[in-house]
Amino acid sequence: MALSLTTSIALATILFFVIYKFATRSKSTKNSLPEPWRLPIIGHMHHLIGTIPHRGLMDLARKYGSLMHLQLGEVSTIVVSSPKWAKEILTTYDIAFANRPWTLAGEIVVYRNTNIAAAPYGEYWRRLRKLCTSELMSVKKVKSYQSLREEECWNLVQEIKASGSGIPVNLSENIFKLIATILCRAAFGKGVKDQKECTEIMKEMLREVGGFDVADIFPSKKFLHHLSGKRARLTSIHKKLDNFINNLVAEHTFKTSSKTEETLLDVLLRLKDSAEFPLTADNVKAIILV
């Protein structure tokens, strides 16, 4: 399922507010949240087909309230659409909702969900959080990302300006490329030999990872994951990424660290063998993909 940039962004936003709760085998009767009418097997998926997901969800929420239940295939989901409930879930009871849903993309691409976004709540997760506050998202680092973003946005503006009048510019494509470039630069720095290759891999990854997939709403139906071709595509992306990062890490060990700005990779490799944040090679590669 190819998704446009806007759809991917919309989905990412929705996923943020949609809290998954895995369906339990026993038919729970405790669930008494309002919900629209459902079909067998697909549950409520048909309410979202043909709509832009965030709009479709908004229309449903208008009818069924700011706390409603949706059955998406095998996955039981609670959709939260008011600031009050969002605060309860994301702040007051965030620990209870700290686990992320299983996705095929997380499983294959990011080393069995060991990255920051998907890691299950627990010891490893707490270590990652500490790593974030003390290293990856420190004030200094966040400031350095800002100038990086500004520079790349400026480049895009210049590029559009230079493209001449009368020629249409595909803004979706350009913004997608912009995001991929920023990710590459934050992770590996400006000096990456093959910036273009990195951007291409990131673009491919963003496309595949974004959005709903049949594999994610039917986690137990393994044959569907093969049938949709998703597993094969994700495995191919994972291999490319893994190779790419391996090469960078290999180069990195020969380099003397005389650079002005530490990239994410620099930070992680510095910490890898430290006593405070021991990480495996795969951990480093997963975390760098955030």
Ligand X SMILES: *[C@@H]1O[C@H](CO)[C@@H](O)[C@H](O)[C@H]1NC(C)=O
Q: Which residues of the chain form contacts with ligand X (CB under 6 A)?
A: 4, 170, 172-173, 176
User: Looking at beta carbons only, is 8 or 114 nearer to ligand X?
Assistant: 8
Q: Taking the complex as a whole, how short is the minimal distance between the CB of residue 157 and ligand X, in angstroms?
A: 18
Task: Closer to ligand X by CB, 81 or 181: give it.
Answer: 181
User: In the complex, what is the shortest distance from the CB of residue 139 to ligand X, in angstroms, rounded to a whole number?
Assistant: 35
Write down the least CB distance from residue 9 to ligand X, Å: 12
End-to-end CA distance of the chain: 23
3-state secondary structure of 19: strand
Rg of the chain, C-alpha, whole Å:
21
The DSSP annotation for 119-131 comes to PPSSHHHHHHHHH
Specify which residues 72 forms β-bridges with: 43, 75
Tokens representing 16?
């943020």
What is the phi/psi pair of residue 113, to 5°? 55, 45
DSSP 104-149: HHHHHTTTTT-STTTPPSSHHHHHHHHHIIIIIT-HHHHHHHHHHH
Q: How far is the CB of 177 from ligand X (least distance, A)?
A: 9
Q: Is the Cβ of residue 3 or residue 15 nearer to ligand X in the bound state?
A: 3
Smallest distance, ligand X to C-beta of residue 3, A: 9
Q: Which is nearer to ligand X, 176 or 212 (CB)?
A: 176
Which of residues 196 and 255 has its CB atom nearest to ligand X in the complex?
Answer: 196
List, edge to edge, every strand of the sheet that includes 75-80. Answer: 18-22, 75-80, 67-72
- Give the number of C-alpha atoms closer than 13 A to the C-alpha of residue 187, restricted to the C-beta side: 22
Q: How far apart are CA 107 and CA 114, in angstroms?
A: 9
Question: Max Cα separation, the chain?
Answer: 62
Q: Smallest gap, in angstroms, from Cβ of residue 156 to ligand X?
A: 14
Please, are residues 178 and 34 in contact by the beta-carbon 8 Å criterion? no
Which residue, 9 or 90, has its beta carbon nearer to ligand X? 9
Q: Which is nearer to ligand X, 147 or 172 (CB)?
A: 172
CB of 18 to ligand X, least distance (A): 25
Instruction: Look up residue 37 and give its two tokens.
Output: 């009418």
